[in-house]
Amino acid sequence: RGGYESASKHFNPADVEVDVAGRSFLVTGANSGIGKATAKEIARRGGTVHLVCRNKERGEVAKEEIVTEMGNQNIFLHIVDISNPKEIWKFAEKFRNEHKLNVLINNAGCMVNNRELTEDGLEKNFATNTLGTYIMTTALLPLLEKEADARVITVSSGGMLVQKLNIFDLQSGNGPFDGTMVYAQNKRQQVVLTEQWAKAHRNIHFSVMHPGWADTPAVRSSMPDFYERMRTTLRTEAQGADTVLWLAVSAEAVKLPSGLFFQDRQPIPTHLPLASTHSPLEDEEKLMEMLEEFSQKFKTTSPG
């Protein structure tokens, strides 16, 4: 929290005091934590917000809360499990036919501490954090391409700084399983995805960010020891969401190059000094190929 407090002294409040009525935002993992805090702030500014949640009951409670508190009726709930690639494809196809989209916020994520497979036989962290983010984004790119000032923001983590991209064991099947490191690897993969997308899609602004360590349900459940040690110094959910909001609505954010990694409204390096976490470009391109192959496996084209 201290880091946020000192950084925020240099923020320009006017950057985020904008009216976004008429613009459409999709936020994954929007029923709690940083996703909900972001959705609220966008709703407060008049945006149309599509909440993508896995759990119907929790999603409905969040939607109700946002509509009531913000007095904005343009809040829509979609039930999608981001660890289920077929479900994402199906959702995106329907969404493309019914809505417009200006800003995609990939916030849904998980940190499962024991190796667990989804019904499709995918390791759960990889399925949610990497493949789910990849499919949601690529499936909605055609919609974003149609809009002026389209943006894609992915919520990563500073934990990725300890990981070098590893394309040889995407589903963490080799050796002992460490949920925290698997999560950090997925977050490194998200940084690579963002950099690659930024190169390929010049008219969309891509960014990835570290929210800082915030007091969210996800941190409480997946990192209980860390939470107990750190809880008095953690950021609030709104502080964690601040840079997401800034990247989503401010005119300042898009003056910076596409593909950067942010913390507290500033681009920061994606590698620590002297850390051997850089990977060859071939590995980064190979990651994109592998994810494309994975994603196509689960794409069932509906008749007509």
Give catalytic residue positions. 183
- Backbone angles phi and psi of 303, in degrees to 5: -55, 135
Question: Structure tokens of 25?
Answer: 């935002």
Residue closest to 85 by CA, chosen among 122, 113, 55: 122
Least Cα distance to 190 among 263, 103, 126, 120 occurs for 126
Q: How far apart are CA 142 and CA 197, in angstroms?
A: 13
Instruction: List the beta bridge partners of residue 103.
Output: 25, 151
In the beta sheet, which residues pair with residue 101? none
Q: Return the percent helix, strand and coil in the chain, to nearest 5.
A: 50, 15, 35
Of 93, 64, 80, 83, nearest in space to 27 by CA = 80
260-263 sheet: strands from edge to edge = 75-79, 48-53, 24-28, 103-106, 150-155, 204-209, 260-263, 266-267
Q: Report the C-alpha gap between 272 and 278 in whole angstroms.
A: 10
Angle at 139 between CA 299 and CA 187, to 5 degrees: 100
Q: Among 145, 266, 149, 172, which residue's Cα sits nearest to residue 210?
A: 266
The DSSP letter of residue 214 is: B
